[in-house]
Chain A
Amino acid sequence: MTANELTAAGLSLAYGRNTIVDELDLVLPGGAVTAIVGPNACGKSTLLRGLARLVEPAAGTVAIDGHDVHRMSARALARRLGLLPQQPTAPDGISVEALVRLGRYPHQKALRPWTAADQHAVEEALRRTDTADLRDRAVDHLSGGQRQRAWIALALAQDTPLLLLDEPTTFLDLRHQLDVLDLVADLNATADRTVVMVLHDLGQAARYADHLVVMHDGKPAATGRPADVLTAELVEAVFGVPCRIVPDPETGTPLIVPKARTERATQTRPS
């Protein structure tokens, strides 16, 4: 078994009586970058929160390398798995360094002061995310891209082999999106982190992920290598968008090209 493999078995997640994810079975390979994609309200974020034990499952289990996460203490889990929420909000006026230091929480003990190991993890996180120059700046005064990198630095300081990112590129411009995705690829390649992230852009998911999970109505519609999974039929079935799949001219990975408006109109509205 690969280390840091995340598995869900019969997982159902619900808010009140509103079932979002229904009896889902999923294996997310360790050591890889997995992207979860799907239309709005398909349960992508809920699935991610369920995998991180932020939602109590209505049924089923989540396990890391076969260990049930619901039997781990909250801290023990937080030393193995970190999650960056979608659009997190930092307290007013907090500096980047103070924010990143909070990532050490699961490693700290009640009366033990800040250690050299803590500081080392913080410096490493600042360095990797290229936020060391921003350490004294207030998080709420940063640009969107800088802020996202500061939050990723917090998740890195947590020093977990498994890293879950909920829409890390949303609300960023193209360059900052690519910065974040390059950082993810880098973490996977050089820091040996297993990454699971929710993305919106299918082309980016195909470029950056080794493994793709396409969610549809609370269930995985397809899983596997992006090149195998992304077909015109699947995209039309899941997103309702007729399209062509062409090889990305830069990387050769699948690229989704929606059909022209006139053609889509005749296809989706048969008389």
Chain B
Amino acid sequence: MNAIARQRRRIALLALAGLVLLALAMLAGLCLGERFIPPAKALGALFLGTGDAGDVLVVGRFRAPRVLGAVIAGAGLATAGAILQRLARNPLASPDVIGISGGASLGAVAAIALGLAAPLTPLAALAGGLAAAGLLGLLSLPVYGAKASPRRGTGMSATRLILVGLAVQAGLTAAVNLFIVRFPAELASSALHWTTGSLYGRNWTEVLTGGTAVIAALLVALLLHRRLAVLDLGDDASGSLGLRPATGRLQLLAVAVVLASLAVALTGPVGFVALAVPHLVRRLAGPPTAGTLALTALCGALLLLAADLVVQHALPIHGLPVGVVTATVGAPWLLVLMSRQTRPTLRTAP
């Protein structure tokens, strides 16, 4: 069996394991809580509406949307991170580092603070995310000078993108905070709670609309994967293979922004899922393919759901937002990545 077939089998096995774990975690999310509901009863209450009326309410109204929200947001964030990291050729590129999540947060917080109807929140987040991406693109456009290198003259420089992105993210976070301190206390506190990244109080409307959109965007991402693979070869190689690098990058960037913004609209800016999951999948499944992209979505869903379960049931403090947990785990991870990047890379002999 050759390398391609071996990797495919590996991805299939990992996906199978991931799906089993995800199913178990989702079931745990339905059963666990202040009152434990046995699996059979929980599933009956959710799908058939049978059993105790209280169970039906708790599982159907509160637990199920929360579980689905975590799955959808985790998948969206991880996929967005994987796409951005490959476009920027930098493992630090992820929506929460380069300002996309900041833009989406600002849009959503503005919508909440201005008292707009709840269904508008995802749209406002999307608008914010796209605006942040536009700003980022504008600020990190290559500047031609007399000494501009002809070969590297096109496309975005990864370092520039990351640095500009950090600044954009910082600026947008400041704007979010401004909204929170300037607006009426009750609106501001719900906005504040939202910015820490929480799955508390998600409802069916939010989850279903967000979920449909995220699934559609994931399918588009998988369809565009060939372009992403060609872009991985560099601008000249992709141009000579018949893909204009600027066009391909813009399409994939748009998909990544949509995925990240929709996820942020559901959960708030949960950090580090988008940064860490693509690396994890790469370690487990090898060099990127369409299969690993799908696996990334699956692992993102699993990770965020698991983190949310930990927040709800395994910590002594109650009511912590899930973003706090992912950030606590994620910060050391980011440091490890950065230290690896600055260290000279050693090529192992074949």
Contact = CB atoms under 8 A, between A and B. Distances in A.
Interface of A: 15-18, 20, 45-46, 49, 52-54, 73-79, 81-86, 88-95, 97-99, 102-103, 105-106, 108, 110-111, 135-138, 140-142, 154, 158, 164
Interface stretch (B22-30, B53-61, B68-76, B237-245): B237-245
A79 B287 CA distance: 27
B131 to A, nearest CB: 28
B287 A74 contact: no
Nearest to B289: A98
B241 A105 contact: yes
Contact of A15 (B148, B223, B350): B148
Contacts of B288: 91
B339 interface: no
B347 interface: yes
B83 to A, nearest CB: 14
Given A83-B240, A102-B229, 15 more contacts: A15-B150, A20-B150, A53-B239, A54-B235, A75-B242, A79-B242, A84-B237, A90-B233, A91-B288, A95-B287, A97-B2, A135-B2, A142-B350, A154-B237, A164-B240
A78 B229 CA distance: 16
Contact of A85 (B153, B237, B243): B237
Binding site secondary structure of chain B: loop
B144 interface: yes
Contact of A88 (B230, B233, B348): B233
A106 B349 CA distance: 34
Interface in B77-99: 86
Contacts of B349: 141
Nearest to B241: A105
A21 to B, nearest CB: 11
Nearest to B143: A16
A112 to B, nearest CB: 11
Given A97-B3, A105-B226, A135-B3, A92 B240 contact: no
B318 interface: no
A109 B255 CA distance: 20
Contacts of A88: 233-234, 236-237
A79 B288 CA distance: 25
Contacts of B287: 91-95, 98, 138
B232 interface: yes
Nearest to B286: A93
Given A52-B240, A94-B287, A140 B148 contact: no
Q: Which of B148, B239, B240 has the most CB of A within 10 A?
A: B240
B317 interface: no
Contacts of B335: none
Nearest to B348: A141
A16 B144 contact: yes
B15 to A, nearest CB: 19
A97 B5 CA distance: 11
B182 interface: no
30 contacts: A15-B153, A16-B145, A16-B148, A17-B146, A18-B148, A20-B150, A49-B236, A52-B239, A52-B240, A74-B239, A76-B242, A81-B240, A84-B240, A85-B234, A85-B237, A88-B233, A88-B236, A91-B287, A91-B288, A94-B287, A98-B4, A99-B233, A102-B233, A105-B230, A135-B2, A138-B350, A140-B347, A141-B347, A141-B348, A154-B237
Interface in B272-298: 286-289
Contacts of A18: 144, 146, 148
Contacts of B234: 85, 88-89
B151 interface: yes
A46 B236 CA distance: 11
B240 A95 contact: no
A158 B233 contact: no
Interface in B138-152: 144-146, 148, 150-151
A108 B226 contact: yes
B3 A136 contact: yes
Given A15-B153, A46-B150, A83-B236, A74 B244 contact: yes
The 6 closest A-B pairs by CB, nearest first: A78-B242, A16-B144, A93-B287, A85-B236, A83-B240, A136-B3
B3 A98 contact: yes
Nearest to B238: A105
Contacts of A84: 237, 240
A141 B350 contact: yes
Contacts of A81: 240
Contacts of A79: 242
Contacts of B232: 91, 94
B151 A86 contact: yes
A95 B230 contact: no
Nearest to A76: B242
B50 to A, nearest CB: 42
A40 B244 CA distance: 28
A20 B146 CA distance: 12
Contacts of A90: 233
Nearest to A96: B3
Contacts of B242: 73-79, 105-106
A102 B236 contact: no
A135 to B, nearest CB: 6
Contacts of A95: 3-4, 287
Contacts of B145: 16
